[in-house]
Amino acid sequence: MEREPSLESEDHKRMHHRLKQLGPDLESRREKLYEQIETTLQFGHDLRDLVESISPEESQQDIESKLESYMDSVKAKFPQESEDIERIQELRSQREEHWKSYDVLRSRDEVDELNEEEENQVRIIMEKTEEITDEIGRLSEGNITKLILNLDNMTADLIAKNIFIKESDVKDWRTVLSKWFLEELSSEEFDFNQIEKVMVKPFSIILISNPDYFEKLSSSSSIEGLFLGGTPFILIKRQEDQSRMNDSIKHEEIHCYTDAANLSRGGLNMLFDERIERYNALRREGAPQWLIDSAKKLLIKTKAWRLLDDLHFELVAAIPAAEQADFRASKKAKTAEEQLLEELFGGYGLSTVEKRTKELGRKMREIIKTAENEGDQILSQHIKQLSDDFHYRWFHTIETMRYVLDEASALSEDAYFDVHMLFYFLRPSQYGHIEEYLVKKYGNSSASQS
pTM of full prediction above 0.75: no
Given a contact cutoff of 8 angstroms between Cβ atoms, the answer to whether 342 and 334 are in contact is yes
Exposed e or buried b for every residue in 277-314, given b needs 16+ CB within 10 A? ebbbebeeeebeeebbebbbebbeebebbbbbbbbbbb
Query: What tens-digit pLDDT sequence spans the chain (450 residues)?
Result: 444 444 444 544 554 555 455 455 666 777 777 888 888 888 888 998 999 999 999 999 999 999 999 999 999 999 998 898 889 889 988 888 888 887 777 676 554 676 778 778 878 888 888 788 888 878 877 778 878 888 888 899 999 999 999 999 989 999 999 888 887 766 677 888 999 999 999 999 999 999 999 888 877 666 788 888 889 999 999 998 888 898 889 888 888 887 766 444 333 334 677 778 788 888 887 777 877 887 888 888 888 887 787 777 677 766 766 666 555 444 444 455 555 555 444 444 444 566 667 777 788 888 899 889 888 889 899 888 888 888 788 878 878 888 888 888 888 888 888 988 888 878 888 888 898 888 888 887 655 555
Packing angle between helix 272-284 and helix 351-373, nearest 10 degrees? 40
* CA dihedral sign, ordered 90, 91, 92, 96: positive
Q: What are phi and psi of 199, to 5 degrees?
A: -120, 120
Given a contact cutoff of 8 angstroms between Cβ atoms, the answer to whether 322 and 229 are in contact is no
Given a contact cutoff of 8 angstroms between Cβ atoms, the answer to whether 450 and 443 are in contact is no
Q: Which helix (H) or strand (E) holds 237?
A: strand 233-237
Nearest Cα neighbor of 161 from 224, 236, 228 is 228
Cα 143 versus chain centre, distance = 15
Exposed e or buried b for every residue in 206-241, given b needs 16+ CB within 10 A? bbbbebebbeebbebeebbbbbbeebbbbbbbeeee
* CA dihedral sign, ordered 433, 439, 442, 447: positive
Strand partners, 209: 195, 237
Q: What are phi and psi of 269, to 5 degrees?
A: -80, 165
Query: Pairing relation of β-strands 205-209 and 233-237?
Result: parallel
Instruction: Count CB neighbours of 20 within 10 A.
Output: 9
What contacts 383, CB < 8 A, 6 or more positions away?
A: 299, 364, 367, 368, 371
370: exposed, middle or buried (Cβ count in 10 Å: 0-12, 13-18, 19+):
middle
Q: Is 209 helix (H, G, I), strand (E, B) or coil?
A: strand
Say how far apart CA 47 and CA 347 lie, in whole Å.
Answer: 34
